Amino acid sequence: MLEPVPGVFMLERTWGSNIYIIGVDDPVLIDAGFPLDERRIIRSLEGAVPSLMVATHYHIDHVGPLASLKRKFGSPVAAHSADAEVMEGTVPCRVFKLDPLRTVYYKMLAPLYRYEFVPVEIKLEEGDIIDALGGLEVICLPGHTDGSVALYQRERGILFSGDTLRNEKGILDGPPPQFSPGLDEAFEHIKAKVLPLEIDVLLPGHGEPLVGGASAGIRSMLDEKGRL
Ligand SMILES: [Zn+2]
Ligand SMILES: [Zn+2]
């Protein structure tokens, strides 16, 4: 595992999205990757039982093995109320319009993408504090999904951004347009709620951590995209 900042571990070689484990004894899981990432998570926990499993949003590449992990560990699951409804199966998830080739591709891989509903005991709202890393503030950033959240450690300037900010191949960006029904809304929220924060370290849902001066990077990304 990588340790991009002390006390925060990031799993390596996941199936495509980032999984973070905070702490060692009573670890808190931030996102859980695809269903096939389960074994890697269990190995990485090294026998510890998560005290909480947080989903930044409901997409399958972030909540894949949560139901199974919950059966194994019994740990409570936390997500924003809007996305919790999808995770629990009471509201259908949005269907994306993909080009035909992608649709065939995803149909072929369907067994790997089986969405398993999971009860969400803790419904997160703006300003809630998660007891990890000295306090993680919930910041609601709807757009990528209605219930997308980021988690902010104010004293240390650390932001877990979920998919609202990505840093793939060293390119900082907003959420993926093809999977974000509210792309403009997401960028408005980044500008209004993320930009004013002092962020030293960005821990995104996809791509590499941005360690040191993340705020400046976010500002110039917004500027380059004409979103300032
Ligand atoms: Zn997503
Ligand atoms: Zn994702």
Q: What is the pLDDT of residue 114?
A: 84
Q: Compute, in angstroms, the gap from residue 191 CA to the centroid of ligand 2.
A: 20
- Cα–Cα distances (Å) from 136 to 28, 143, 155, 171, 228, in that order, read 11, 21, 10, 25, 26
Write out the residue range of the structural domain in which residue 169 sits: 2-224
Q: Compute, in angstroms, the gap from residue 73 CA to the centroid of ligand 2.
A: 24
Q: What is the pLDDT of residue 194?
A: 98
Number of the ligand closest to the Cα of 145: 1
Number of the ligand closest to the Cα of 178: 1
For residue 211, the cross-strand partners are 201
| Tokens coding 225 | 């995209």
pLDDT tens profile 180-212: 999 999 999 999 999 999 999 999 999 999 999
**What is the CATH classification number for the domain harbouring 25?**
3.60.15.10
Q: Compute, in angstroms, the gap from residue 43 CA to the centroid of ligand 2.
A: 22
Q: Compute, in angstroms, the gap from residue 63 CA to the centroid of ligand 1.
A: 10
Number of the ligand closest to the Cα of 33: 2
Q: Compute, in angstroms, the gap from residue 209 CA to the centroid of ligand 2.
A: 15
- Cα–Cα distances (Å) from 29 to 42, 127, 156, 176, in that order, read 11, 19, 19, 23
In sequence order, what E strands does the chain have?
Answer: 2-5, 8-10, 20-22, 28-30, 52-54, 77-80, 122-124, 129-130, 136-140, 149-153, 158-162, 166-168, 171-173, 201-204, 210-211
Residue 56 near residue 205 (C-beta atoms within 8 A): yes
Q: Compute, in angstroms, the gap from residue 149 CA to the centroid of ligand 1.
A: 11
Q: What gap in Å lies between CA 143 and CA 163, rounded to an integer?
A: 10
Q: What is the pLDDT of residue 100?
A: 73
Q: What is the pLDDT of residue 142?
A: 98
Q: What is the pLDDT of residue 98?
A: 66
Place of tokens 């209004």: 192
Q: Compute, in angstroms, the gap from residue 157 CA to the centroid of ligand 1.
A: 23
pLDDT below 50 — which residues of the chain? none
Residue 11 near residue 37 (C-beta atoms within 8 A): yes
Q: Compute, in angstroms, the gap from residue 198 CA to the centroid of ligand 2.
A: 24
Q: Compute, in angstroms, the gap from residue 206 CA to the centroid of ligand 1.
A: 9
By residue count, the chain amounts to: 228
